[in-house]
Amino acid sequence: EQMPTTEREGLLLCVYMDDQNHSLTYIYTGLSKPVGLPGIHEFTAMGLLDDKMIDYFDSENQAKIPKQEWMKTCVPENYWKEGTQSRKNKLQWFKESINILMQQMGQNDSVLHVLQWMVGCEVEMQPGGKLKFLQGFWKYNYDGDDFLYLDNKGQEWGAVNYVAELTKRKWDHYWNAKGYTKNYLENTCIDWLSNLLNCGQQQLRNTSAPEVYAIKKEAKVKTNITLICLVTGFYQKDIIMRIKRNEYILTEKDGLISSGVVPNGDETSQRSDHVEVLKSNLSLYTCEVIHEASQLNVKVIWGPICQDTINVNVFCVSDISVFNGNKAHIMVPTIAIIAIVIIFVCYCKRPICGKFSILYNF
């Protein structure tokens, strides 16, 4: 059988990424028979840019649709029509491939069988915005186990069992599978990743800036106070937050506790840092938040000394204040707000994705 054509659409790798790395991956899943459960289809396909789903297709609705608003304007006019047809072709290919695998393995349809394919690329953002290729992914999984995969250098297929070895020999004999996949991962995928990343970031820059909450509240120890700085509602993860004491950047060694960047559940992220200090401490404490994607640059000053009010990006904190861009609003302390902040502070940062299985053509 001939491998289905993979259109120029990128793919997302499901691993923990740092702020300078980006990935584009497509994950396809085919079932040997219907399961009769809501939301579980015989065939699904999803595209992801970093940890965000950008498009989706399933065998019930049979239409490739955008999952992010900015995707509607970031692709050519015929993208969704051609993408839908490509997904339909893959749906048929998955049905045929699952039947072939079941025959080769002596299986029947008395139990459910699952074929998966994951393909994508990962890059590192260089100074000046240039993308450096790090690695590509082209992997297949059958019934929860690895089946066939392309090594990190894109040079050799790795076959896990005898049936996978049969597929490997066929591909090596009849067509240049390695050459095709290597070119796709290192060129086509990178082109799409770059275009989607640039378009998505430009769209997000046009949205409202994230909010910065600055809180000063009583600590459990009566002689201390807790200084909390929280930023929430941002889309890109490349955010800088620093709590300083007399321009010295505090770290964990100084008692600083940070939640790291964590999801809000609405496609945005948030981060909260806090430190406990003596009430009698006369040092100047500040919190700086920089988020280039939304052009947010705010400096918050805690404490009795607050004289730098000439700079429009510098604000003084009384009890609880919220900042958005260059606007500041002093808020009355409430139990609800403080409770929310405590939840933010206690939220632990986790790797974005767990173990993923994979799929493809035979």
Distance (Å, rounded) from C-alpha 190 to C-alpha 187? 5
Supply the pLDDT for residue 347: 34
3-state secondary structure of 103: helix
Distance (Å, rounded) from C-alpha 351 to C-alpha 148? 25
Supply the pLDDT for residue 330: 34
Length of the chain as a residue count: 362
Taking each helix axis as running N to C, give the angle between helix 79-104 and helix 162-174, from 0 to 180 degrees, rounded to the nearest 10: 130
- Give the domains, in start order, of the chain with CATH numbers: 21-205 (3.30.500.10), 211-331 (2.60.40.10)
Strand partners, 219: none
Distance (Å, rounded) from C-alpha 120 to C-alpha 190? 9
The segments of the chain whose pLDDT lies below 50 read 1-19, 305-315, 318-322, 325-362
First-to-last CA distance in the chain? 6
Distance (Å, rounded) from C-alpha 15 to C-alpha 167? 27
Q: Are 58 and 44 a contacting pair, CB within 8 Å? A: yes
DSSP 234-245: ESSS-EEEEEEE
Supply the pLDDT for residue 207: 62
Supply the pLDDT for residue 332: 31
Distance (Å, rounded) from C-alpha 64 to C-alpha 52? 16
Q: Are 206 and 147 a contacting pair, CB within 8 Å? A: no
